[in-house]
Structure 1
């Protein structure tokens, strides 16, 4: 990216200003790695401003000695006045009490966050369940209608269905919402809020067109769940179309809305039930990035135009399945379009009866 070459596509390399602007959105550790990587590139003309930013990042991170070394060397050739800042950093660097690296507090989400980053980079551990994964033509109750299914994860079950939506239907969904796309929101205590953890644009398909009804019936055929939006009973939510541009992502999250014990829920909206399952269409191929990852089960799914991914958010007992926590990796090159259908518990009582055993699986 820095040199201007991503995969087989060549563009203008990043300028020093570009590098600094991107670094403003990174944590200190990320800033240090980002600046250092840029300085290691050949033919970097403006090393002074980046070196200064690197020194400041080291200083803020509590590594005063490294910051002092960089600024001392930089002062030999720079016209920038750095006497005061160097004196301040030297005093801190030479103070044993203040220069001790601070112990970072334990981060309970650190493992998941690290796994998310590694999966987005394509670093996957070999799965011990790989021998039970397979592809086959899934039969439906319509004898002549079968679909190619690839089992991506056996336990918990995550499947991808290929050639499940046509180019015409994809164009219809995109054109229906393009004028209504707004900043994507995350649900917090039942309220939709804008948050940096989600940077795409989204819109619901408000009009139940024939194409929407056709796609809902197709989902029903393949999952056995009622996915049709009705006025009298809410068995599912309307299709939501999401567009991610360069850098667009959605951090680790659960699609289920209720994490508390079901017996303690007093929210009247729970009469429609939680999101039992998620179905997501991929509307285009992504040149680089944009994978869907499940950190807790070491699963990475690359977007394939015309395919769809399906998984359960709840266990058969009705409790939240924490293994369904997932994320949308940043788009590195190109754009990403998906359409999501969240299926609710209501209306599935006879189609997917609850299992009382807490360790039971859907398949």
Structure 2
């Protein structure tokens, strides 16, 4: 049942964020790709789910289509229409809710009159008391960023691509600057197809070790890679990261410089709510009380100074990583890695680099995530005494 609920929530997020046409969704078409259409029973179940999770615009579309397909009579019809009216009321369209419900005022259904009075009262206080029944939800800035780039031409003109030299003179990497200050970078072609296959193979083998797998209700599965068979590949990838970033990624049994790799799989509709990898347990403020709940190898290693996200596949539609505060949008590009700092040089948490993952619309998404600790970077990324320091 959890899988079904997760699939319904994912569908509603994709429908809502990417503003797919309601008729297409119910006909089983997403982004022009056909699938099984929704039956009348599917619509009813999905409408109830939409109501529970406050997808009221989608609930209205589902219930209206259900009403066209199924002939309801008497009190059953009135109760059903009153749910549509309530959904309009929930999106601050009380005048429209009253318009839907008023034809049933003279029926013997006792809840009609008090609801009409309520809707009429609320309509007086609404900024927009439109009574139109053709609605389209207004997207937030974050949702607009999921759909397309929102940086202005002037902001985009500051961005560029270059070949970045590493610690090894003959090894250069393709660097794309996604934001100048704070620095947000995308490194292309940092992992081979063979390494990606081996990484996924190791991940799939861990399906037999449930203790190392974490599921959540956002369509994500997180695998903690601790298998000895993975060590050779892990060390190889960590050395490459170190050469590119100049930071230490060495895994240690105590006070490690970085965490183990996490491989994250996003199914259809899968998404990551907005988070910051800066968790305010910095190296210079941590206490024993803070550290004891942590795994032994990360205790007293400090907080996550930087984040490295390797994209292991292309995503057909959706699934971009976004930083709303910076208007940064990063579609998943196979073989590329997103890198950014979670701390300013002044030692403060940089909440500008909070990020989230937009819902995966078509296909799936695979990431390999590495969180880099403060402890190993003491002499690699120097602090700045100025609270207004310029971040590189």
Tell me whether the two structures share a fold, i.e. TM-score over 0.5: yes
Partner residue, 1:314: 343
Match 1:343 to one of 363, 367, 372: 372
Partner residue, 1:276: 305
Partner residue, 2:258: 236
Check 1:90–1:130 CA distance in 2 against 1; reply closer, same or farther (3 A cut): closer
Partner residue, 1:325: 354
Match 2:238 to one of 191, 216, 219: 216
Q: Which runs of 5+ in 2 are unaligned?
A: 1-24, 128-138, 292-298
Give secondary structure in 1 for the equivalent of 2:325. Answer: helix
Alpha-carbon distance in 2 for matches of 1:47, 1:273: 63
Alpha-carbon distance in 1 for matches of 2:93, 2:148: 31
Q: Which runs of 4+ in 1 moved over 6 A?
A: 47-50
Partner residue, 1:70: 100
Q: How does 1:18-57 map to 2 (within 5 A)?
A: 18-24=42-48, 26=50, 31-37=55-61, 45-46=69-70, 53-57=83-87
Deviation at 1:124, TM superposition (A): 1.4
RMSD: 3.4
Check 1:22–1:127 CA distance in 2 against 1; reply closer, same or farther (3 A cut): farther
Give secondary structure in 2 for the equivalent of 1:351. Answer: coil
Deviation at 1:358, TM superposition (A): 1.5
State whether residues 292 and 327 of structure 1, in contact with CA within 8 Å, keep that contact through their aligned partners in structure 2. yes
Deviation at 1:13, TM superposition (A): 2.9
Partner residue, 2:221: 201
Deviation at 1:340, TM superposition (A): 0.4
Match 2:88 to one of 52, 58, 77: 58
Comparing 222-231 with 55-64, greater Cα deviation is found at: 55-64
TM-score normalised by the chain length of structure 2: 0.75
Check 1:202–1:74 CA distance in 2 against 1; reply closer, same or farther (3 A cut): farther
Alpha-carbon distance in 1 for matches of 2:302, 2:52: 41
Give secondary structure in 2 for the equivalent of 1:362. Answer: coil
Alpha-carbon distance in 2 for matches of 1:11, 1:75: 41
Deviation at 1:213, TM superposition (A): 0.5
Alpha-carbon distance in 2 for matches of 1:204, 1:362: 31
Check 1:74–1:175 CA distance in 2 against 1; reply closer, same or farther (3 A cut): farther
Match 1:225 to one of 236, 247, 257: 247
Alpha-carbon distance in 2 for matches of 1:4, 1:291: 23
Give secondary structure in 2 for the equivalent of 1:338. Answer: strand
Alpha-carbon distance in 2 for matches of 1:171, 1:13: 34
Cα deviation digits, residues 281-314 of structure 1 (max 9, x gap): 1111111111100000011110011111000000
Give secondary structure in 2 for the equivalent of 1:297. Answer: coil
TM-score normalised by the chain length of structure 1: 0.80
Work out the number of aligned pairs and report it.
337
Comparing 238-247 with 167-176, greater Cα deviation is found at: 167-176
State whether residues 116 and 327 of structure 1, in contact with CA within 8 Å, keep that contact through their aligned partners in structure 2. no
Give secondary structure in 2 for the equivalent of 1:164. Answer: coil
Give secondary structure in 2 for the equivalent of 1:222. Answer: helix
Partner residue, 1:191: none
Cα deviation digits, residues 334-359 of structure 1 (max 9, x gap): 11111100000001111111111112
Check 1:149–1:265 CA distance in 2 against 1; reply closer, same or farther (3 A cut): same
Comparing 255-264 with 340-349, greater Cα deviation is found at: 255-264
Deviation at 1:260, TM superposition (A): 8.4
Partner residue, 1:355: 384
State whether residues 150 and 160 of structure 1, in contact with CA within 8 Å, keep that contact through their aligned partners in structure 2. yes
Q: How does 1:88-167 map to 2 (within 5 A)?
A: 88-93=114-119, 96=121, 101=125, 114-122=140-148, 124-126=150-152, 128-167=154-193
Check 1:70–1:2 CA distance in 2 against 1; reply closer, same or farther (3 A cut): same
Deviation at 1:115, TM superposition (A): 2.7
Check 1:260–1:223 CA distance in 2 against 1; reply closer, same or farther (3 A cut): closer
Partner residue, 2:7: none
Deviation at 1:319, TM superposition (A): 1.1
Partner residue, 1:107: none
Q: Which runs of 5+ in 1 are unaligned?
A: 104-112, 185-193
Cα deviation digits, residues 18-50 of structure 1 (max 9, x gap): 445445555789633224455788x96359788
Check 1:68–1:338 CA distance in 2 against 1; reply closer, same or farther (3 A cut): same
State whether residues 68 and 86 of structure 1, in contact with CA within 8 Å, keep that contact through their aligned partners in structure 2. no
Considering fraction of residues, name the structure with more helix.
Answer: 2
